Amino acid sequence: MKHFISIAIDGPAGAGKSTMARAVAKELGYVYVDTGAIYRTVGYYIQLCGIGPRDVDSVTRLIDEVNVELRYPEDGVQHMILNGQDVTDEIRSPEMSDYASKLSTLEVVRDFLLDVQRDMARTHNVVMDGRDIGTVVLPDADVKIYLTASAEVRARRRLAEFQAKGDKKMSYETVLRDIRQRDDRDMNRKIAPLRCAKDAVRLDTSELTIAQSVDAIKEIVEKRLGR
């Protein structure tokens, strides 16, 4: 059986995981798996049903109605298909990100999506980013990286993303507060908390550009894979 290479990139909100993981995957010719988008897709359905993200009983009752697919058309971008409908654009709001973060603390949701994520690594060379990839989802990943930056730097980056998308309402103070709240929630949740795996390489990108960060990640990958 062919061994597919898996690269796990974990880290806090706003660390640039998606941007950098996508760039690394493209350069290596691997499939990029955005696990945050998978959780947002489930969250999108649950929210449409009018259910709160902490309503365990209702989420448990509805979870089997959710069918999630990952598709990679010619543009190379991961498209999220929910029950046959492409919801890639609909899941990208700050509100959905916050909702999905709260929903992801539920064990029933994490268990439901575990096989979806692992199946991608069983059948493709992947760069997968999230918060528990190297510790829970792919504990045997060939390369593990913990990507981080200061809360202030992450807030500035996230604000720039919002502004680039035309959202001028968000302030730096609001984004920084949200980042710190998200960190606290992710690091202290009972199920699969955010932490650096013991065998992961820690990379702080506070002083690095995106290009420099991508180069640093590629260097780590090459060393770990012995290339």
Residue 205: the pLDDT is: 95
* 17, 129 Cβ separation under 8 angstroms: yes
Query: Which CATH superfamily hosts domain 6-216?
Result: P-loop containing nucleotide triphosphate hydrolases (3.40.50.300)
Domain boundaries, the chain: 6-216
Distance CA 221, CA 94 (A): 31
Beta strands 31-34 and 126-130 are parallel
Region of 14 on the Ramachandran plot (φ > 0 left; ψ -120 to 50 alpha; else beta): left
Q: Residue count of the chain, please give it.
A: 227
Distance CA 13, CA 102 (A): 13
Distance of CA 20 to the CA centre of its chain: 11
pTM: 0.88
Q: Which amino acid is at 196?
A: C
* 116, 104 Cβ separation under 8 angstroms: no
Distance CA 211, CA 133 (A): 23
Contacts of 136 (CB under 8 A, 6+ apart): 110, 114, 192
Query: Looking at the DSSP assignment, which residues form a beta bridge with residue 68?
Result: 82
Distance CA 105, CA 103 (A): 5
For CA atoms 140, 4, 144, 71, give the dihedral sign.
negative
Q: Can you give the pLDDT of all 227 residues of the chain as single tens digits?
A: 668 999 999 999 889 898 999 999 999 999 999 998 999 999 999 999 999 999 999 999 999 999 999 998 877 788 999 999 999 999 988 889 889 989 988 999 999 999 889 999 999 999 999 999 999 999 999 999 999 999 999 999 999 988 888 877 889 999 999 999 999 989 998 888 999 999 999 999 999 999 999 999 999 999 999 87
Closest CA to 185 of 91, 105, 96, 107: 105
Beta strands 79-82 and 85-86 are antiparallel
Residue 1: the pLDDT is: 63
Distance CA 169, CA 148 (A): 26
Residue 168: the pLDDT is: 78
Tokens encoding 46: 């649950």
